[in-house]
Structure 1
Amino acid sequence: MKKVFNLLFLFSMAGIIVSCNKNDDDEPTPLRDYAEQYATDLADIEEYLQTHYIESVTNNPGQPDDQDIKLTLIPSGGSQTSIWDQTTYPLSFINVESNDITYKVYYLKMREGTGSNSKTPTNYDSVLAAYKGNLLDDTVFETNNYPTSYFNLGGVIKGWSELFPKFKTGSYQVNGDGTLSYYDFGSGVFFIPSGLAYYNSTRASIPAYSPLIFSVKLYEVQRVDHDSDGIFSYQEDVNGDGYLRDNDTTYEDDTDQDGTPNFLDRDDDGDNYLTKNELKYIINGITYYYPYDGALVDDPVTPQNETYGIPRAFTGPLLNPSLPESETNKRQPLPEDYTDSNRLRRHLDANCKPPYQ
């Protein structure tokens, strides 16, 4: 059943229509060897980085052109410092496992994102982002300077879903005319090999096997609960690395090791109890659920039950210490069961099984 749910989710993500999705209009060309094509792409991308320079980065807070970046070919005999050699915005890279090879994916970070509301997306959250895309010959194939809708990073090209978690949002204010002005958002440039983009698919303005360059601005993140278990998917990132699906075949965030990552698994610990039914506690006859940190208001009458979010397995004394632990003689909560920053939330704890916890 979990496998079916997993497949249905992936098919639904593939149907989202956003700029960077593969779509039914793509025209495939004969498939090349991934490793050979990657070697070509990497050489071409590195040549671009060594022959182009950052001509300008606009600093205009609150305006649509804030953090616009212009990359320009170094003219013959020019003395400009290449993207490769400049240090103002150090060139970084990540390794991405896909297609049975390891891709080296370069990116620039003009700004990480420092606003008062800043937060980092996982590779399956939805984001609101402005962007401009161009080919290595500097042809611009698409721009979106005024984004109005979110797109899920699980339904776009892999290069995007792997790089957006390296950035944070900023903050915004509502203008008198109802528009929004964004400040201190994360901004950068992605240099994506074709194997993490459209590969052998041809779009109207993108030839097959094209490495792509995207300058991006991350305005906002929308959290998603993919498996409807009452836990936002980003909170099911057990190792906290920002990646819910770590590569094509391995899922590190998989508590019960059943091959379905927690964010797609309605029973994370494999105990045959739905996660959403485990995350509850009864206070004064009222059943409370813990869908996310800060969901409930502290109860000053019962300080031992302060609700700071998803608790770990309760570690307090038994209701009746003289009797063994049972369904009617459960352990009582301690404040640190809710507040310990290193606690293992009960929905991720394979040893925390109802009815005892």
Structure 2
Amino acid sequence: MNKFKYYFILFITTITLFSCSKDDVAPITPPRDYAVQYATDLNDIEEYLKNYYIEDVSPDVDTKITKIPTGGSQSSIWSYLNSTTFPKLLSKEVKLHDITYKLYYVVLREGVGQSPSNTDRVLTAYKGEYLGRTKVAEVETLTPTFFEEARSPQQFFNLTSTIVGWGESFPQFKTGTYSSNADGTVSYQNFGAGILFIPSGLGYFNSGSANIPSYAPLVFSIKLYEINRVDSDNDGIPNYLEDVNGDGYMRVLATGVANPDDTDGDGIPNYLDTDDDGDGVSTRTEITAANGTIIPFESIPSCDGNTTNPDRIKRHLVKCN
């Protein structure tokens, strides 16, 4: 009897599990069109820039951004567009998703050190907010919402693993200097600092992240403390030295598109290519001395063997005849 009861319950359970029709399955909403969403994001970002002002910048470049009150005379962030003095509101074009994004950023302080490439690691303090529209009493307003802050960063971020907007923005800033304190902490000075305004297509787009909703433009206040140079292909040459055209950016481009940072034209940019000049000999082998040590980049000879001419072309970047 007990066995019959067991099989009866199993039978009923099985029917229940498999009796759901396809009509009960929630439809999957496809992602929005990138171009359509970008138009919305750009409108929101520019509205923010025109209606908010930098209320305060502390000596440590902590920024406080506030909405201009009705009738207020404060200078909006937009008023700094292409300024020749700090703060400067600048923009750069980023081609992605078959559209051209305008990426706005404010430079509060440029920094005195080196700039990262978009494939390096950065040590940065930051505060993040996202933009969204809220409706109160039938009145819709654009408001920023805080989601995360790192005031004393302990780890480097690889810009190839962060959102695209970070990789495109950080090369516009430079590191500063630092000193060690008696208590073991480090103090940073003269670092680059600014504010990034990132469309969702260069952020998290439809996926969102933790407390960030989907399709949200992002606003980051950042301080660039330090750089950790990366050698992605482990060929003995740091990525930033494989940036042939020197623009600070290296990318994997679509097939058929000429890549200025791909010496042998094999579709693999130099920073990911273990044989940059396509001669069948790895770059690491070409720059390894007889004693097994890596030859410093500055000592790598040009095609004619010259190591003293400052304008020489390194053989790992250009094919030698």
Bin of the TM-score, shorter chain as denominator length: 0.7 to 0.9
Shift of 1:281: 5.0
Counterpart contact for 2:253–2:267, Cα < 8 Å: no
Q: Distance in 1 between matches of 2:179 and 2:297?
A: 25
- After TM superposition, give the deviation of residue 204 of structure 1 in Å: 2.9
- Tell me which residue corresponds to 1:326: none
C-alpha distance in 1 between matches for 2:252 and 2:308? 28
Q: List runs of 5+ in structure 2 lacking aligned partners.
A: 1-27, 132-142
**How far, CA to CA, are the matches of 2:319 and 2:297 in structure 1?**
19
CA contact (8 A) 1:51 1:73 kept: yes
Counterpart in the other structure of 1:72: 66
> Pairwise mapping of residues 1-357 of structure 1 onto structure 2 (< 5 A)?
30-59=30-59, 66-86=60-80, 87=83, 88-114=86-112, 118-136=113-131, 137-245=143-251, 250=257, 251-281=259-289, 286=291, 289-293=294-298, 309-315=299-305, 337-351=306-320
Q: Report the equivalent of 1:15.
A: none
Equivalents in 2 of 1:29, 1:182: separation in Å? Answer: 46
Alignment-derived partner of residue 12 in structure 1 = none
3-state SS of the aligned residue for 1:235?
helix
User: What is the letter of the counterpart of residue 46 of structure 2?
Assistant: E
CA RMSD of aligned residues (A): 1.7
Moved more, 272-281 or 244-253: 244-253
C-alpha distance in structure 2 between counterparts of 1:46 and 1:342, whole Å: 43
Identity of aligned residues (%): 53
The amino acid that maps onto 1:277 is T
Question: For the Cα contact (< 8 Å) 2:207–2:214, is it kept in 1?
Answer: yes
Asked if 1 retains the 8 angstrom alpha-carbon contact of 2:252 and 2:268, the reply is: no
User: Match of 1:38, SS?
Assistant: helix
Q: Distance in 1 between matches of 2:215 and 2:203?
A: 9
Cα distance, 1:247–1:270 mapped onto 2, change above 3 Å: closer
Amino acid at match of 2:206: N
Code of the aligned partner of 1:290 = I
Q: How far apart are the structure 2 equivalents of 1:119 and 1:148?
A: 20
**Shift in Å, 1:158:** 0.2
Q: Give the 3 Å change call, closer, same or farther, for CA 248–161 of structure 1 in structure 2.
A: farther
Task: Say whether the 8 Å CA contact 1:172–1:181 is kept in structure 2.
Answer: yes
Look up the equivalent residue of 1:347 and give its one-letter code: H
Task: Give the distance between the partners of 2:117 and 2:71, measured in 1 at CA.
Answer: 43
Task: Assess if the C-alpha contact under 8 Å between 1:96 and 1:247 holds in 2.
Answer: no
In structure 2, the CA distance between the partners of 1:236 and 1:169, relative to structure 1 (3 Å rule), is same
Aligned equivalents of 1:123, 1:102: Cα separation in 2: 18
**What's the CA shift string for 1:154-201, capped at 9, x where partnerless?**
000000000100011001001111110001000010000000000001
Cα 1:121–1:248, aligned 2, differ >3 Å: closer, same or farther? farther
Alignment coverage as a number of residue pairs: 277
Q: C-alpha separation between the residues in 1 aligned to 2:154 and 2:184?
A: 13
Matched residue SS, 1:155: coil
Distance (whole Å) between structure 2 residues aligned to residue 347 and residue 40 of structure 1: 44
Q: Relative to 1, partners in 2 of residues 1:258 and 1:246: Cα closer, same or farther, differing over 3 Å?
A: closer
Whole-Å separation in 2 of the counterparts to 1:265 and 1:239:
16
SS at match of 1:123: coil
Shift of the 206–248 alpha-carbon distance from structure 1 to 2, 3 Å rule, reads farther
Q: Residues of 2 paired with 1:183 and 1:110: CA distance?
A: 14
The equivalent of 2:24 in structure 1 is none
Distance 2:217 2:254 in 1: 20
SS in structure 2 at match of 1:339: coil
Deviation of the 1:252 alpha carbon: 2.1
CA distance, structure 2, for counterparts of residue 202 and residue 259 of structure 1 = 31
